[in-house]
Structure 1
């Protein structure tokens, strides 16, 4: 029986992109597949797993639905982030050639990311529940004209051949994941590449006063703190109750970050720091690419 301290939980079938994120970011741990995001969180809360790997956003499709509602209520803490490039392979049963394939099964999002390739090879898309699950169905089925669109890892797990690799229309398509644990870790530490640079994530609600959000954000501008993300969402199904999720560069002990958070507290009715963690190496690379 595997020791829970050696497990990292993810949502989906083995071979999913979340599984790939586990391998890339925590190769020393064994990945534990779970049915839902809630199951992933509960696995860590209950001690069944040590860490959780949760996707929060994609560079092409934006925020992962419902995840920001789950994070503040999870009782877990963000201790790291992981960026995973979405490289898509066409996977088929052994002996099947590319010219034999007339249908490709995958999640609707992945089908939309390979339109050019599918059109060039006259392959129709077939919607599957998810990416790794589609690869599993293809591996277990008898039909040889159906292939799957999934991560190369799925082909490795389900014994499928990779007929084509990196067939996605956008080569910079990236998903950001958060690694969460039962206990916080606010220590300053380098990322996996040995680079310095910390991020702080938090949620807050502004007080019911005029221009409260504008005033709350002013502290970050005047103190030179870069806010990399700010998103709002309703809470408790009430239009007038809005919560904000934010990521900023820096550590809460940095003088400018401390001053900005102090100003934020003055204009908020709730402030909850979700995590303090190193920036993934791909974050800086993407910023350099945008700047040319």
Structure 2
């Protein structure tokens, strides 16, 4: 049964829950209170997979995942992109003109400013989107509404007063799908991504030299982010994502050159690129 469960951080109806259901419709979802608990659920065998948000097209990266995942013991086995479609949810029978207060997570409220201004609604910050829907359902007051997913409306018996109320139509969250064991695809598989972390040596131009091998070997780098580790300003770790498999000759040579100028290089996962990513690449290239 545990292998048929996928863990996520949040309460039922959260966008992470929705992402789990869309990416793995045959699996049951397991809500967890924190990212650490989500990772532990897989590490302890209570779930087969974890759906971990790593970045949002508006809000940027999710720092907790960058700090937790490298030392979690889990491997990235896939990625999923979920379009964030905010809905204005009210109690059954409520109408927009009677709504006075809108409850949701601070980030979600910041993404629906046009709606709030247009209807003179007061934003009220809550812990999360789906939890806000649960609160509104529990209160039963027509003047209180929530910004959450359509799944939250279904789970908590709320009416969808308006769909797609977000200010930006491109609001999308990217997730890592993580498992206890790597699922390495064959090197000849098309459309592979490799995610790894590294720390450069404390020498002049170390990062420039470390990354030079990717350029000279024709490896396409799609992400490079730095962040502090251990609370030390001098201890910087980089998370990098590239196209290809570590056994591809060009990526293998690039990683060898990286190892020469860095210490502690760790591959977090080799996995198929999501169809969403491939479609965007075709749009850009076409």
Q: Same fold (TM over 0.5)?
A: yes
Aligned-residue offset at 1:284: 2.8
1:162 matched to which residue of 2?
160
2:259 matched to which residue of 1?
265
Could you state the TM-score of these two structures normalised by the residue count of structure 1?
Answer: 0.94
Mapping 1:94-243, distance limit 5 Å: 94-188=92-186, 196-243=190-237
Could you state the TM-score of these two structures normalised by the residue count of structure 2?
Answer: 0.96
The 3 A distance-change label for structure 1 pair 189 and 107 is: farther
Say whether the 8 Å CA contact 1:59–1:175 is kept in structure 2: yes
1:274 matched to which residue of 2?
268
Aligned-residue offset at 1:288: 4.8
Say whether the 8 Å CA contact 1:200–1:276 is kept in structure 2: yes
CA distance in 1, matches of 2:127, 2:64: 18
CA distance in 1, matches of 2:94, 2:123: 17
Say whether the 8 Å CA contact 2:35–2:64 is kept in structure 1: no
Say whether the 8 Å CA contact 2:91–2:140 is kept in structure 1: no
The 3 A distance-change label for structure 1 pair 243 and 161 is: same
Aligned-CA RMSD value: 1.6
CA distance in 2, matches of 1:59, 1:34: 24
Q: Please say if 1:33 is aligned against 2:27.
A: no
1:19 matched to which residue of 2?
17
CA distance in 1, matches of 2:190, 2:263: 33
The more displaced of 206-215 and 280-289 is 280-289
Aligned-residue offset at 1:285: 3.1
SS in 2 for 1:154: helix
1:31-53 per-residue CA deviation (whole Å, 9 max, x = no partner) reads 00000000000000000111111
Aligned-residue offset at 1:97: 1.3
Say whether the 8 Å CA contact 1:92–1:162 is kept in structure 2: yes
Aligned length: 286
CA distance in 1, matches of 2:90, 2:139: 11
Q: Which runs of 5+ in 1 are unaligned?
A: none
2:8 matched to which residue of 1?
10
1:55 matched to which residue of 2?
53
Say whether the 8 Å CA contact 1:189–1:278 is kept in structure 2: no
SS in 1 for 2:254: helix
Q: Which runs of 5+ in 2 are unaligned?
A: none
Aligned-residue offset at 1:188: 3.7
CA distance in 2, matches of 1:207, 1:189: 30
Aligned-residue offset at 1:238: 1.1
SS in 1 for 2:40: helix
CA distance in 1, matches of 2:281, 2:154: 32
SS in 2 for 1:21: helix
Aligned-residue offset at 1:56: 0.5
